[in-house]
Amino acid sequence: MALLALAVAGPLARGQETPLITGSIAFLHGTNRGQTSYLPAFMPLAVVPVKQRLLFETRGLFTESITPRAGKSYQTRFGRNLNYLQLDYIANRHMTIVAGKFLTPFGTYNERLSPLWIANFQDGPLIFSLGSNQSAGVGGQVRGSAFANNTVAVDYATFFQANVGGTQFKSSRATGGRLNFYFPASGFEFGTSYDHMFEGQHPNAAGMHVWWTPHNVPMRFRSEFARSTHTKGYWFEVGYRLARSTSSEDSWIGRLQPLFRMQQTFRNSADGTDGAPGVDEKRVDFGLDYYLPHEARINTSYTRQIAIGATGNIWKTELVYRFAFPAWPGRSR
Amino acid sequence: MIRAWIASGLMGCCFAVAGAQNAQPAKGMDSTQQARQAQSGEQGTGQKPANTAMETAGEQKFQQNCSRCHNAPQELSPRISGTVVMHMRVRASLSEADARAILRFLAP
């Protein structure tokens, strides 16, 4: 049977499981209604395979916010955040058990688009906080690929987590999950998410996402809708790489990617804890990204923010660089 | 401002380390270049046609799964490709077969 399995699987790939250090470095500049700020940011990620089925991974974010003050001085503020620190056990082909501090699997932005080198816009969507339980929590998660063939792929994630606060160890417990359907031939994907908190008024949050990545057009369409007890909202983003094929991505025009994002939130009643805007808000983002050689990228964007008492223009520019290298030398072959 | 200088220094160190890694690729060429050459049938890989077909299938899986969120890495050492695929298998809930095919594409 083992020989048969090897024959079916073919020769083993040569990829090695050497511990990895990757991440991104960015320098962000923004002007929000005339107020300028600078933000150097460093987001390292370490991935250490312990054995064939065990994986340790952790990611952090370090920032230094620099804001010019009257005169020639600057106000600075250092920020650090442990995004996640988790141990993954690949139990079988359908199930992976995750323990530790992990990103809440609600919607798509938190897990997929939050890395600096992936996000097309510097700002996350307005509805990002709905259902994400402050982005991460400590607990356990079961996830994996439920079913996959050439027609459809179904994956899932369920979690239980607690956010432990610094004040008298106040915690907020939550549970939820996500179910995702992907159709590889068309590049179409949709899914739904759910989150329930056990504290306060036991609020629920539900979400839905639709992505479309056609294979013959260098376009990405992403969208999400989420609602909680007091707020609901949506965002959608379209990006089009000005390249006809993979080879033309190296031309100067093929490195350009115009972007458009629209987002809106609707407030039903006041809630200072859900993280969404306190009043109805609408934002329109226009972006232009330029992919430089050697994993560097320039992101620029203009945002028109429309809300009561907060209408204005936001200009942002970012230089981001992605790195990935082994933590130590691998085996020679 | 001192912390800003420290952060800048840290960024510089990372650039230097990453540059050194880029200057010393793994034996031969990097994995994505190898995969592209194998796919286009250029000389130098010594791969059998069956392997090339599997790498093409792996590239297709890469386009279908990974490219939904990000572009292909311009360079990726074979030493870490297994780790990257393990990480993405968990993060993106890839099926075992897709993870294997993508690994074959990244490290033919």
pLDDT band of B6, cuts 50, 70, 90: low
Asked whether the beta carbons of residue A90 and residue B104 sit closer than 8 angstroms, the reply is no
- Domains for chain A: give ranges and CATH numbers: 20-326 (2.40.160.10)
* Among B102, B58, B65, B61, CA closest to A189: B65
Q: Are strands A95-103 and A136-148 parallel, antiparallel or unpaired?
A: antiparallel
**What whole-number distance in Å separates Cα of residue A194 and Cα of residue A197?**
10
Quote the pLDDT of residue A99. Answer: 97
Question: What percentage of chain A exceeds 70 in pLDDT?
Answer: 91
* pTM exceeds cut of 0.90: no
B18 close contact with A: CB closer than 8 A: yes
Predicted confidence (pLDDT) at residue A137 exceeds the cutoff of 60: yes
Between residues B49 and B54, the one the model is more confident about: B54
To test the contact with chain B by mutation, choose from A6, A8, A17 the residue with the greatest count of B C-beta atoms within 10 A, namely A17
Quote the pLDDT of residue A48. Answer: 95
pLDDT tens track for A186-228: 999 999 999 998 887 788 999 999 999 998 888 999 999 999 9
To test the contact with chain B by mutation, choose from A325, A331, A332 the residue with the greatest count of B C-beta atoms within 10 A, namely A325
* Among B34, B84, B77, B46, CA closest to A47: B84
Neighbours of A319 (CB within 10 A): 15
Distance from CA of B31 to the nearest CA of A (A): 9
Quote the pLDDT of residue A170. Answer: 61
Task: Count how many pairs of residues, chain A against chain B, have C-beta atoms within 8 Å.
Answer: 157
pLDDT tens track for A39-84: 999 999 999 999 889 999 999 999 999 999 877 788 999 999 999 9
B67 close contact with A: CB closer than 8 A: yes
Task: Look at A37-51, A109-123, B15-29 and tell me which has the smallest mean pLDDT.
Answer: B15-29
pLDDT band of B12, cuts 50, 70, 90: low
Beta-bridged to residue A48, according to DSSP, are A56
Beta-bridged to residue A257, according to DSSP, are A289
A220 close contact with B: CB closer than 8 A: yes
- Across chain B, mean pLDDT equals 68
Judging contacts by C-beta atoms under 8 Å, the chain A residues touching residue B84 are 15, 20, 47, 324
